């Protein structure tokens, strides 16, 4: 039985303004290749039964930093229903990042995620009254904690050091790609 995640609309969103050709050039620029695809799929296998623990760790980090949890509510008070809905989609993002083909459907959904962080669609999916945008600086800054903290989870299944390093490198490249795509709405027209 497939779990329904509120607001998860993979395959049912508008087309990304970023082309597949642009995505291929971005992949080339971050050195993402077929070996990375292989190790990212392995990372997905390693992480699939650990997503709750990963999210506990990441949410602990966000919750311990008022300037980050700020985006999930108003006037310093987080909206717990909003945090819960986002958490479910964030967990699915972990799996999608590792297992979905980086095709037009995947590219389209990355743009949808971008819009949901930007004032264009922030809060609309969950119909909440929260801060209207996640500022660009935190989109980019989050690359490091999301990458650095995943390594211990990747190492938890007994793979040798070389394999863990390759999974981690593939994860880092994939996170970098997605964050680049998520910044599209923040960039001036014709400057992305």
Q: Which domain holds residue 102?
A: 20-186
6 is a domain residue: no
Closest CA to 134 of 113, 165, 157, 152: 113
11 is a domain residue: no
**Mean pLDDT (whole number) for 14-28:** 98
Q: Give the SS3 label for residue 77.
A: strand
- Tens digits of residue pLDDT in 68-88: 999 999 988 999 999 999 999
Q: Is the Cα dihedral 46, 113, 174, 165 positive or negative? A: negative
Which CATH number fits the domain that encloses residue 93? 1.10.490.10
Number of folded domains that form the chain: 1
Instruction: Quickly count: other Cβ atoms within 10 Å of residue 74's Cβ.
Output: 13
Give the pair of three-digit tokens for residue 81. 């229903």
Helices and strands, counts by H and E, the chain = 10, 2
8 is a domain residue: no
Model pTM above 0.85: yes
Vertex 190, ends 185 and 17: CA angle to 5°?
A: 55
The dihedrals phi and psi of 77, each to the nearest 5 degrees, come to: -105, 115
102 is a domain residue: yes
Q: Give the SS3 label for residue 51.
A: helix
- Tens digits of residue pLDDT in 85-138: 999 999 999 999 999 999 999 999 999 999 999 999 999 999 999 999 999 999
- Tens digits of residue pLDDT in 39-68: 999 999 999 999 999 999 999 999 999 999
168 is a domain residue: yes
140 is a domain residue: yes
47 is a domain residue: yes
What are the CA-CA distances from residue 115 to residues 23, 48, 120, 125, 147 (Å)? 18, 26, 6, 10, 22
- Tens digits of residue pLDDT in 157-175: 999 999 999 999 999 999 9
5 is a domain residue: no
Instruction: Quickly count: other Cβ atoms within 10 Å of residue 93's Cβ.
Output: 19
């Amino acid at each position: 039985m497939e779990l329904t995640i509120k607001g998860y609309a993979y395959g049912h969103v508008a087309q990304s303004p970023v082309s597949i050709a642009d995505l291929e050039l971005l992949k080339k620029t971050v050195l993402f290749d077929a070996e990375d695809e292989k190790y990212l799929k392995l990372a997905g296998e390693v992480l699939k039964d650990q997503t709750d623990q990963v999210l506990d760790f990441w949410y602990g980090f966000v919750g311990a930093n008022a300037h980050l949890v700020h985006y999930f509510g108003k006037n310093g008070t987080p909206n717990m229903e909003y945090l819960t809905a986002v958490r479910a989609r964030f967990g699915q993002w972990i799996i999608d990042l590792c297992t979905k083909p980086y095709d037009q459907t995947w590219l389209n959904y990355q743009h949808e995620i971008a819009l949901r962080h930007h004032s264009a669609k922030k809060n609309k999916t969950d119909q909440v009254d929260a801060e209207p945008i996640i500022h660009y600086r935190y989109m980019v800054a989050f690359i490091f904690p999301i990458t650095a903290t995943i390594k211990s989870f990747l190492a938890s299944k007994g793979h040798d050091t070389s394999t863990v390093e390759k999974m981690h490198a593939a994860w880092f490249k994939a996170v970098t790609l997605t964050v680049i795509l998520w910044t599209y709405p923040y960039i001036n027209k014709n400057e992305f």
